[in-house]
């Protein structure tokens, strides 16, 4: 599909990253870069009206919002600065630059306050976030290091635990009538949502099953009866933020035969 798109629209380039001009904007923006020039014109007008805006880049298809957004908004507001979440397009026109409004504003903020001051606000906002949420349940994607299943590799970046998979594989019983997957492209898994406290004690708060072989749906309760006893509930590595253990959720999948 992507190849067809590129053949059909040769003037487009894939660009899932954030492209930023260097130096002063009016000196670096090409006169044909109408996307950037339009952004700069808007930014100049806002700046002339006394407005400054800090942008947090959230990515493109999957948004990565700042965990301390609320705290940072409050800090910036006290300095007369607005906050904006800015996402990137995966497809941009050749010779056209995104995010020039935000880059212009970044330059103006650093000119007025200094880059180190801006870094200190980000640090202070994150410290406040931890203080405000130290006893809450943190989303695992917001942790600096995620909760880990006992004896699993540290800080796994996906929803799969090799240790959990092997442990269940060794113990699980399949009921009569269960249809095993006939090829690797078929899906058969259960997704566990865990609550993992600061001491590494875990509990299962939710099960989600997905079977391409629909007749296997009837065995959900059968599997739940086994899985709860097969999964280790103590000895997890807790999630961490800024070096401190936190209560966090965690999602892991087990793949059936």
What percentage of the chain carries pLDDT values higher than 70?
88
Kindly list the domain boundaries of the chain, sorted by start residue. Answer: 2-133, 137-255
- The residues, ordered by sequence, that sit 6+ positions from 93 with a Cβ below 8 Å of its Cβ are 11, 12, 13, 35
Give the residue from 204, 68, 79, 228 showing the smallest Cα distance to 147.
204
Contact yes or no for 155/146 (Cβ under 8 A): yes
Nearest of 161, 187, 182 to residue 252 by alpha carbon: 161
Question: In this model, does residue 18 exceed pLDDT 70?
Answer: no
Handedness of CA 230, 235, 240, 244 (dihedral sign): positive
Q: Determine the Cα–Cα distance for residues 196 and 247; give it in Å rounded to an integer.
A: 6
Q: Which residue has the tokens 């298809």?
A: 61
Write out pLDDT tens, residues 154-203. Answer: 656 678 999 999 999 999 999 999 999 888 889 999 999 999 999 999 99
Q: What is the pLDDT of residue 44?
A: 95
Average pLDDT, the chain: 88
End-to-end CA, the chain: 31
CB atoms near residue 68 (< 10 Å):
23
Question: What are the tokens at 73?
Answer: 């908004």
Angle of CA points 218, 219, 222, to nearest 5° = 140
pLDDT at 8 over 80: no
Which of 241, 249, 181 lies closest to 216, judged by CA? 181
Confidence class for position 130, pLDDT limits 50, 70, 90: very high
Residue that the structure tokens 């065995």 belong to: 219
- CA of 161: how far to CAs of 207, 214, 237, 254, in Å? 16, 25, 13, 8
pLDDT digits (tens, 9 = 90+) for 46-84: 999 999 999 999 987 777 899 999 999 999 999 999 999
Q: What is the 8-class DSSP label of residue 152? A: S
CA gap 12, 91 in Å, rounded: 7
Q: Which two tokens stand for residue 238?
A: 């807790």
Residue 145, classed as helix, strand or coil, is strand
Would the pLDDT of 17 be above 70? no
R_g over Cα of the chain: 24
């Amino acid at each position: 599909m992507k190849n067809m798109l590129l053949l059909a629209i040769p003037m487009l380039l894939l660009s899932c990253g954030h492209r930023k001009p260097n130096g002063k904007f009016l000196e670096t923006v090409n006169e044909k870069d109408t996307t950037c020039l339009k952004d700069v014109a808007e930014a100049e007008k806002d700046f002339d009206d006394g407005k400054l805006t800090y942008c947090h880049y959230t990515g493109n298809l999957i948004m990565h919002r700042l965990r301390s957004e609320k705290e940072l908004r409050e800090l910036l507001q006290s300095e007369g600065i607005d906050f904006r979440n800015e996402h990137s397009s995966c497809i941009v026109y050749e010779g056209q630059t995104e995010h020039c409004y935000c880059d212009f504003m970044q330059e103006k903020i650093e000119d007025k306050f200094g880059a180190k001051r801006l870094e200190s606000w980000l640090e202070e906002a994150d410290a406040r976030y931890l203080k405000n949420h130290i006893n809450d349940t943190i989303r695992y994607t917001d942790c600096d290091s995620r909760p880990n299943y006992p004896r699993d590799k540290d800080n796994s970046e996906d929803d799969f635990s090799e240790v959990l998979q092997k442990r269940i594989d060794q113990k699980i019983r399949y009921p009569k009538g269960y249809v095993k997957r006939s090829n690797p492209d078929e899906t058969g898994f259960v997704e566990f949502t865990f609550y993992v406290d600061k001491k590494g004690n875990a509990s299962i708060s939710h099960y989600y099953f997905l079977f391409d072989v629909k007749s296997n749906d009837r065995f959900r309760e059968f599997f739940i009866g086994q899985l709860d006893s097969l999964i280790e509930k103590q000895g997890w590595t807790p999630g961490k933020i800024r070096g401190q253990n936190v209560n966090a959720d965690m999602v892991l999948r087990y793949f059936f035969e």
